[in-house]
């Protein structure tokens, strides 16, 4: 009975839950955040936070932790044992937890057959800690900053070695929580919220999401980089506006806030199951004339939408190369061929959505990618096919410069 109670307690440990999340992630097909939400749902909030820190910290620093693991144990390791060891190394080297607690608690959730192995490797890591930390600056960029070598090479070629390294360094940091205030629903701003000097109405939070303020429509959780496409579009009161790839609705909500709700907004998305939540989010934000509709913009523009809008916001699906700090899965799921595939998809969507812009109207093409193949190259190819549109200006937000997510936005004007 005693051992049964001990086993039961270990399976409720946040370190055990984190280990199960990592095993599930390694099987493929499920995002890390989804696994954390699924496995940690019944844990107290402080334990959920530890699960998230271990899982995301391990994936964000995976190549460096694998390097340490392989140095300590060059021989073959079963996959599940490796993930448990990597989670322990994350606690030691990334989260900087107390050595005894990190080692002992990780060993306690290991199956009996691996306990000696896990204990030996982690204790050896503690003994050689200064050696591993001293060699870190001398490792290859891909290992040092845990990114695929092909992506490192791509960034070095596009941005130069210095810029590439700064972006890679930015991406292994833990992202903060940002909120945008909604002037339609004022809030007493907590003193611990830090205003962003470069982004009026935006705040950096010291801890988790303010759910009460979020439910009341007083704030929207988003990254400050999302403001660029809204600033370029410059929605005006009374305008008819289309947000073509809208869910979950953050950019539509920003347009509502900018115009005090005085716009005629149609928000479309290709996934029917997202529409109810999308409309709820926009009504909570203060939208007065809001419609939602399911439409896939790789298919022809509906006749009822042709030349019907003063402004169109087109935030297309992309590689997420600008948000690798926040979306830890993306760097491991991306493949070089994806950029060409996505550029074709983006071009197809732009080809149809542009038809919704009235003569004299405007369209903003937006991505959360920093890769030119998905950004300026898509825009330039579009302009060659559509002389009725012209590029007013565009903006590339590089994450290490912005101290926020990376993004791209281009303002296209349709002639009268």
Catalytically active residues, by annotation: 368
Angle at 161 between CA 160 and CA 165, to 5 degrees: 120
**How distant is the alpha carbon of residue 215 from its chain centre?**
22
The alpha carbons of the chain give a radius of gyration, in whole angstroms, of: 24
- What is the crossing angle of helices 62-72 and 45-60, to 10°? 80
Find all residues with CB under 8 Å of 83, minimum gap 6, and list them: 19, 22, 23, 26, 58
DSSP 300: P
Q: How far apart are CA 102 and CA 38, in angstroms?
A: 24
- Residue that the structure tokens 């945008």 belong to: 180
| Structure tokens, 191 | 């003193």
141 touches 164 (CB < 8 A): yes
CA distance 403 to 190: 22
Contact predicate 18/87, CB 8 Å: yes
Q: How far is CA 53 from CA 123, 207, 344, in A?
A: 21, 13, 36
DSSP state of 274: G
What does the alpha-carbon distance between residue 97 and residue 88 come to, in Å, rounded to a whole number?
Answer: 10
Measured CA to CA, the distance from residue 312 to residue 354 in angstroms comes to 8
C-alpha–C-alpha distance, residues 142 and 152, integer Å? 6
Q: How many CA atoms lie within 13 A of 162 on its CB side?
A: 1
Q: How many residues can be counted in the chain?
A: 416
Q: Distance between CA 233 and CA 68 in Å, rounded?
A: 48
Separation of alpha carbons 339 and 300, rounded Å: 23
Q: Choose among 161, 159, 210, 153: nearest CA to 187.
A: 210
Distance CA 99, CA 50 (A): 16
């Amino acid at each position: 009975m005693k051992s049964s109670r001990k086993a039961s307690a270990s399976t409720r440990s946040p370190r055990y839950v984190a280990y199960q999340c990592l095993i599930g992630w390694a099987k493929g097909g499920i995002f890390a955040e989804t696994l954390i939400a699924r496995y940690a749902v019944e844990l107290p909030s402080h334990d959920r936070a530890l699960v998230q820190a271990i899982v995301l910290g391990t994936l964000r620093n995976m190549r460096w932790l694998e390097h340490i693991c392989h140095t300590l144990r060059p021989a073959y390791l079963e996959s599940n044992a490796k993930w448990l060891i990597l989670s322990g190394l994350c606690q030691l080297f990334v989260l900087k937890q107390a050595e005894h607690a990190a080692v002992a608690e990780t060993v306690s959730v290991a199956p009996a057959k691996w306990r000696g192995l896990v204990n030996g490797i982690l204790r050896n890591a503690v003994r050689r800690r200064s050696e591993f930390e001293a060699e870190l600056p001398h490792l290859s960029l891909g290992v040092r900053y845990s990114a695929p070598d092909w992506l490192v090479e791509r960034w070095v070629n596009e941005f130069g070695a210095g810029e590439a390294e700064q972006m890679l360094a930015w991406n292994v940091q833990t992202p903060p929580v940002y909120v945008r205030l909604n002037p339609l629903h004022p809030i007493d701003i907590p003193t611990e919220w830090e205003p962003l000097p470069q982004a009026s109405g935006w705040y950096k939070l010291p801890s988790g999401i303010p759910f009460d303020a979020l439910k009341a429509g007083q704030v929207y959780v988003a990254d400050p980089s999302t403001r660029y496409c809204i600033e370029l579009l410059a929605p005006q009161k009374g305008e008819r506006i289309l947000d073509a790839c809208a869910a979950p609705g953050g950019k539509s909500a920003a347009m509502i806030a900018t115009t005090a709700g005085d716009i005629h907004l149609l928000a479309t998305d290709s996934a029917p199951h997202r529409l109810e939540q999308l409309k709820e989010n926009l009504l909570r934000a203060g939208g007065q004339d809001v419609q939602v509709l399911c439409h896939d913009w790789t298919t022809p523009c509906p006749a009822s939408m042709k030349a019907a809008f003063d402004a169109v916001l087109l935030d297309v699906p992309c590689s997420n190369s600008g948000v690798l700090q926040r979306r830890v899965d993306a760097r491991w799921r991306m493949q070089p061929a994806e950029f060409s595939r996505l550029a074709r998809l983006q071009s197809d969507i732009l080809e149809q959505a542009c038809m919704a812009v009235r003569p004299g109207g405007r369209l903003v093409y937006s991505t959360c990618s920093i890769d030119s193949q998905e950004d300026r190259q898509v825009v330039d190819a579009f302009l060659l096919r559509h002389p009725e549109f012209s590029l007013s200006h565009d903006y590339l937000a590089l994450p290490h410069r912005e101290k926020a997510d990376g993004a791209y936005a281009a303002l296209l004007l349709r002639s009268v």
